[in-house]
Amino acid sequence: MKHVKLKTINLKSHAQLNEKWLQDVIAEDPSVLGIGDVVLKDKERIHAGAGRLDLLLQDSDGHGRYEVEIQLGATDESHIIRTIEYWDIEKRKYPQYDHTAVIIAEDITSRFLNVVSLFNGFIPIMAIQVTAIETSDGIGLQFTKVLDTVRLGYLDEDEETAEPTDRSYWETKRGTKKTVSLSDKILDMSRSFSPSVELNYNKHYIGFTVEGRSLNFAVCKPQKNGMRLEIKLPQTEEIDQKISDSDIDILDYDKRWGSYRLKLTDREVESKSEVLTSLLKQAYELRV
């Protein structure tokens, strides 16, 4: 097959295309950014004394909001400050949502990444680089996530100070013997790719250890009528499709903790073991 060299163009110096054009394209279909199932909440949102927020996006499930600042060319100090300022204003005004600052630029510079690394984790910020490609049918846009938000760990995760409990605590106070036994089956699946993995009983979850060290690539939360399994994986269309095709009961994707939350019964653990093992292995390999 013949290789065709793609022709990229610089939007900042283009005679016809501009920031407004880019803003309109994203507003029409926010999914092009690749940050999940998001919808447009507002455009050119006025902030008194701080200017206009280019785009305000929201998760379709309503839990998360994204304050988006668009810049042609390379990232600079003023846009970084503006992005954080818009995020802070919206967060203070609407604290019931999980807010993420997003900057989109044609060139995410190394200087920008160095500066943002100083506070990422305290301020959830995402950087997306846009590349415009000229084709015979028009202009195509490719969005690449250069910097993602730093995910918080679970409460007491991987810490020696985790409040320990034992199996009987989970069998009598949180779940039942039957639902706690589901964590044993998850353990057996995990041992297929990591023979030394063990269960680790804590007050808020049943995690895992490998050779005595906490390694919570997933956590089990037995309940009275089933078990919630949270697998720490980045959200992607491929994983979404794999879970959807398997008919596993998914509660939601927890963006704050970066986990798929699945509701399992004994029947599902048995019948969906192949898919569950694959997801657990993928999460494990991201952590080791």
Tens digit of pLDDT for each residue in 197-248? 999 999 889 999 998 899 999 999 999 899 999 999 988 889 989 998 999 9
Residue 1 within a domain: no
Please state, in angstroms and rounded to a whole number, the distance separating the CA atoms of residues 105 and 41: 21
Number of structural domains the chain divides into: 2
Letter string b/e over residues 19-49, b meaning 16 or more CB atoms within 10 A of that residue's CB: eeebbeebbeebeebebbebeebebebeeee
Q: Which structure tokens are listed for 6?
A: 């793609």
Residue 2 within a domain: no
Please state, in angstroms and rounded to a whole number, the distance separating the CA atoms of residues 219 and 207: 5
206 and 128 assigned to the same domain: no
DSSP 120-163: BTTB-EEEEEEEEEEETTEEEEEEEEEE-PPPPPPTTTT-TT--
Mean pLDDT is highest, among 15-19, 156-160, 177-181, 202-206, for 177-181
256 and 175 assigned to the same domain: yes
Q: What is the CATH number of the domain that holds 210?
A: 3.90.1150.20
pTM: 0.58
Confidence band of 285 (pLDDT split at 50, 70, 90): very high
Confidence band of 159 (pLDDT split at 50, 70, 90): very low
Q: What is the CATH number of the domain that holds 141?
A: 3.40.1350.10
pLDDT tens readout for residues 249-284: 888 888 777 899 999 999 989 999 999 999 999 999
What pLDDT is stored for residue 161 in this prediction? 46
Q: Which residue has the higher pLDDT, 148 or 53?
A: 53
CB distance 251 to 261 below 8 Å:
yes
Please state, in angstroms and rounded to a whole number, the distance separating the CA atoms of residues 211 and 18: 55
CB distance 67 to 56 below 8 Å:
yes
Please state, in angstroms and rounded to a whole number, the distance separating the CA atoms of residues 273 and 241: 17
**How far apart, in Å, do the first and last CA atoms of the chain sit?**
39
209 and 266 assigned to the same domain: yes
CB distance 259 to 253 below 8 Å:
yes
Does 156 have pLDDT greater than 50? no
* Residue 112 lies in domain: 7-147
pLDDT tens readout for residues 64-100: 899 999 999 988 888 888 899 999 999 999 888 889 9
